[in-house]
A and B are shown apart, each in its own frame.
Chain A
Amino acid sequence: MDYIPNTEHDRKMMLGEMKVPSFESLLKDIPAPLRNFSLSLRQGLSEPEVLRVLRDLSGGNISTDAYISFLGAGAYEHYIPSVVDHLASRSEFYTCYTPYQPEVSQGTLQAIYEFQTVMCELTGMDVSNASLYDGSTALAEAALLSLRLHEKNKIICSRAIHPEYRQVLKTYLKGLHTEIVEIDTPEGITDTDQLKKMVDDKTSAVLIQSPNFFGCIEDMEIISTIAHKQGALFIACVNPISLGVLKSPGEYDADIAVGEAQVLGNYINYGGPYLGFFTVKKEFLRRMPGRIVGQTVDSEGRRCFVLTLQAREQHIRRQKATSNICTNQGLLALRACIYVCTLGKAGMAELANLNIQKSHYAYERLCALNTVKPVFKNPFFHEFVLKAQGTIPVNKINEYLLKKGIIGGLELSGFYPELDNCMLLCVTETKTRESIDRLILELSQI
């Protein structure tokens, strides 16, 4: 199946009308040696055949729905209400282009405007863009914004920021003559004494994630003060779901708040596509990367929406643009917007609370076992670190759990060698008491 409507007959008619002797004559600019190759692709398949292959491949994976999963670490399972899939599956949303023609793109534009509002409300920040690739690149772009702002070249970040986010930050800043300083996290949260010593007048920004990679909630107010005292920007990386209960970046005076918004109505999808959100204080508005939608009026005075402040962007400014970003994650931002509207004001608070209640239930009971021990004592949101006490390594524990229908926590030694035999467990609202009790039972028997 090739989705090409024109037939051999059409082809002949078209060439005839163009008075072109053969199709090949249209390709005369391509040097002959370049035409000499053959593909090793296989023959095309019909729809039933294709879907059989895809179903087999899908079946070759273990779905977190078929098992009970306690994996988190930056990609989180939350229940997605039916309306999200139904509305986002409308092809008017998913087969349209970037809304360059506002007259025929008001649906996309208004949805993004509503998404921007949702993100501002959750984070307590003044302005949001239309989204970036993912949480990690949003954090890197935040650091880049700070570096564009002033002549300082030191970025300070906590070691409790998602390790992959820190790796991305390093990749993005390589070659820009920037120093990245990492602050230790002995008790599972950023060492504020060490931070105080490291922040100086060369510091462009302080980057902190809360809840951090270990699930612990950082003391954002104190860190904000430390950063600002030296004139550095304070960049908060937050989980939007936690903001239903936890203090918002706006309340602790963050300059930029970013994070991963996959949690808002998007599937975990083996890691992507996700969407990074990017919110700032008003004063940084014109330095933001990415698309922004604004409200205006049409020639008849009717309220409408357009992509705005485009003078920041690559298609206008080329090498002088604030970033090379060309798109947002439109469809995923739409899903996030529908999700938050579906849960509503009460639902978002309930959701955060449910995550806290269930994870703390699991944590307390797991801590009572002899086989595992808590590693950090600080307050957490919906993730926590446990250390296996016996001689069985975490990967073997996870193999055992898998046989029992449970996908265990993430083994941490790969990212943090000092945390050997430790696992990061996540409990969201999707876990019933029964499934949590099953985990407790199995872990008590290792």
Chain B
Amino acid sequence: MNQIEPLIFDKTSPGRRCFVFPACDVPVKPITELLARDMLRKKEIKLPEVSEIDVVRHFTRLSQMNYCVDTNFYPLGSCTMKYNPKTNEEAARLEGFTKLHPYQSVEQCQGILKLLYDLEQMLKDISGMSAFTLQPAAGAHGELTGMLIIRAYLEKKGEKRRKIIIPDSAHGTNPASAVLCGYEIESIRSHANGLVDIKKLKEIFTRDTAAIMITNPNTLGLFEKDILEIGKIAHTMGGLVYCDGANMNALLGIARPGDMGVDILHLNLHKTFSTPHGGGGPGAGPIGVTDELASFLPVPGIKAVDKLITESIGNDVQKEYILHYDYPDSIGKIRAFYGHIGMMIRAYTYLLSLGKEGVCKVGKYAVLNANYLRHKLEKQYDIPYGKTCMHEFVISATRQKKKGISALDIAKKLLDYGFHAPTIYFPLIVEEAIMIEPTETESRETLDAFAAVMIQIASDIEQQPDRVRNSPKTTPISRPDEVKAAREPILRWDKK
């Protein structure tokens, strides 16, 4: 389907309807009798006038222009594009969840509150953290929440520290989130081995440093083996350790950030816990903290309390789940209501399905798949850091670049072979970076097929580089002119 789909606005035909409301069953009054004339809208709203079949075909055709996990392999590094189980979707779409209002009394919401409470317990268990809030809307929102907690904690101790240390291999959200909380960023250059330079860290972590934000495994797919030492350095100086849990999939059942000296951790339910990415959201970025920081969490929290039930056959004690506001040092509210409930239901369903053995297999098979793929590609491509990896690895296409083919060209060529492109040009410390994360939900055969294509591309670059240029050619569109898009922004349809 390589045809351009017209905009729905251009399909308008006056008078066409796709949906009708029931006739108004209360006596209708002229609107001007109910509202002042100057409150009313005068400007026309130019919305589509289309029939149901127009809407259905339009959006179905749009969907067909998308690549997705359900089509094929998505080797996007740092994004953990694992399979999104259908059971999760079915669970999240149950009416007792979707049609529940956030201000219904807790007695009316015991099912969902129990689910949220249990999910917090499971995440505590898996991560080794002492307390959780499920509220942050995304990883970046979790980071912001974490930074706010750090500041509140230090302020309570009467300290006004100004700096956050962030490795140069970190995700861009890390510095952006810290700045949002009024912090200055001190970037620390990675050691030649790709890890945090411990010697350097000791020098720069002062009493003016609030925390270090660290990703473990880092974005090169390497485990920060000195993590315990990093924690010691931070804590000795009275600072904290924030861990970006974007790469938690590598550690599932293998190690726990809570045992590593991490004070605050965010998890990405849309990565590690299989909730779908939805074309860019909604995600969910719960954060876990140590005991010492629990009182700073955003409100409300969820609690289980004993409730005495009096029955004819005698008394019984049952658990009742409530929303509570008794976090004395709380940073406040970070969003309206309680978070992305739909994502939490999916993550909970996933964890029930996996259970203990399943969770312990995730990390192992994610690491196995990444190493297998790494091994398959290490002859044709330069892999500048590490000899093995955790859940992902980063190729540098410098060898290919010398032949005039960039990481971008390779990524685009993959699209022609029916694979999604890996993450490219990130982390920033690797030249011509191609970052590959296969996840545990891919089979050996899929990895073999992908590796074969990568090897074919590498060999084409050596022998006939022209075959690799100017891709993709088989996708609905070819490469877009991004410069034009930014220079002459057209950001909405307008009537011609």
Contact = CB atoms under 8 A, between A and B. Distances in A.
A135 B333 CA distance: 13
B166 to A, nearest CB: 9
Contacts of A143: none
Residue from B8, B19, B52, B181 having most chain A Cβ neighbours under 10 A = B19
Contacts of A194: none
Interface string B70-89: 11001010010111110101
Interface in B329-366: 331-343, 345, 349, 351-362, 364-365
Given A294-B486, A341-B48, A398-B105, A1 B353 contact: yes
Contact of B151 (A73, A77, A175): A175
A433 interface: yes
Interface stretch (A96-104, A199-207, A385-393): A96-104
B29 interface: yes
Interface in B102-151: 102-105, 108-112, 114-115, 122, 125-126, 128, 137-141, 143-144, 148, 151
A29 B390 CA distance: 10
Interface string A44-81: 11110011011111111111110001010111010101
A90 B64 CA distance: 9
A93 B46 contact: no
A156 interface: no
Contact of A117 (B9, B99, B336, B479): B9
A101 B96 contact: no
Nearest to B223: A29
B361 A268 contact: no
B277 A96 contact: yes
Residue from A45, A92, A332 having most chain B Cβ neighbours under 10 A = A92
Interface string A381-417: 0000000000000010010001000010010000000
Interface string A228-246: 0000000000000001111
Contact of B372 (A17, A110, A326): A17
A23 B364 contact: yes
Contacts of A117: 7, 9, 492-493
B457 to A, nearest CB: 16
Given A114-B493, A271-B339, A341-B55, A107 B64 contact: yes
Contact of B25 (A87, A107, A407, A432): A432
A351 interface: yes
Contacts of B28: 357
B130 to A, nearest CB: 14
A337 to B, nearest CB: 8
Interface in A98-123: 98-99, 101-108, 110-111, 113-114, 116-118, 120-122
A279 B357 CA distance: 47
Nearest to B277: A97
Interface stretch (A165-173, A180-188, A369-377): A165-173
A37 B361 contact: no
B317 interface: no
B256 A61 contact: no
Interface in A295-326: 295-300, 302-306, 308-311, 313-321, 323-326
Interface in A197-220: 217
A75 B481 contact: no
Contacts of B375: 17-18
B101 interface: yes
A415 to B, nearest CB: 11
Given A63-B96, A267-B99, A344-B16, A360 B81 contact: no
Nearest to A15: B368
B443 interface: yes
Contacts of A108: 62, 66, 279-280
Contact of B62 (A31, A110, A299, A407): A110
Interface in B438-496: 440-444, 470, 472, 475-482, 484-486, 489-493
Contacts of B331: 171, 174
A342 B20 CA distance: 9
Contact of B144 (A71, A106, A165, A324): A324
Nearest to B298: A171
Given A35-B254, A331-B278, A357-B29, A40 B137 contact: no
Interface residues of A, number: 203
B29 A92 contact: no
Interface stretch (B37-45, B286-294, B303-311): B37-45
B66 A92 contact: yes
A106 B489 CA distance: 17
Nearest to A124: B43
A99 B491 contact: no
Size band of the interface chain B makes with A: 35 or more
B60 A87 contact: yes
Interface in B11-47: 16-21, 24-29, 31, 34-36, 38-43, 45-47
Contact of A103 (B43, B140, B357, B479): B479
Contacts of A65: 95, 99
Given A34-B259, A58-B96, A136 B335 contact: yes
Contacts of B236: none
Given A318-B175, A402-B108, A106 B66 contact: yes
A284 interface: no
B354 A247 contact: no
B172 A318 contact: yes
A149 interface: no
A294 B485 contact: yes
Contact of B345 (A54, A102, A326, A402): A54
A294 B484 CA distance: 10
Interface string B166-197: 00000111011111111001000000000000
Given A41-B359, A57-B112, A98-B277, A105 B67 contact: yes
Contacts of B421: 101
Contacts of B171: 315
A434 B26 CA distance: 9
Contacts of B367: 23, 26-27
Contacts of A10: 443-444
Contacts of B475: 103-104
Nearest to B36: A379
A302 B335 contact: no
A61 B64 CA distance: 37
A445 interface: no
Residue from A1, A50, A55 having most chain B Cβ neighbours under 10 A = A50
Contacts of B276: 91, 94-95, 331
Contact of A134 (B95, B336, B353, B359): B336
A202 B492 CA distance: 34
A134 to B, nearest CB: 6
A433 B280 contact: no
B204 interface: no
Contacts of B260: 34
Given A54-B91, A304-B480, A344-B17, 17 more contacts: A2-B353, A2-B357, A2-B358, A3-B82, A6-B369, A6-B440, A23-B368, A37-B259, A39-B360, A44-B354, A92-B71, A137-B334, A248-B43, A302-B478, A318-B185, A330-B282, A344-B19
8 contacts: A18-B375, A60-B96, A64-B104, A104-B67, A121-B46, A273-B284, A330-B278, A357-B29
Q: 3 closest A-B pairs (Cβ-Cβ)?
A: A60-B111, A44-B355, A271-B337
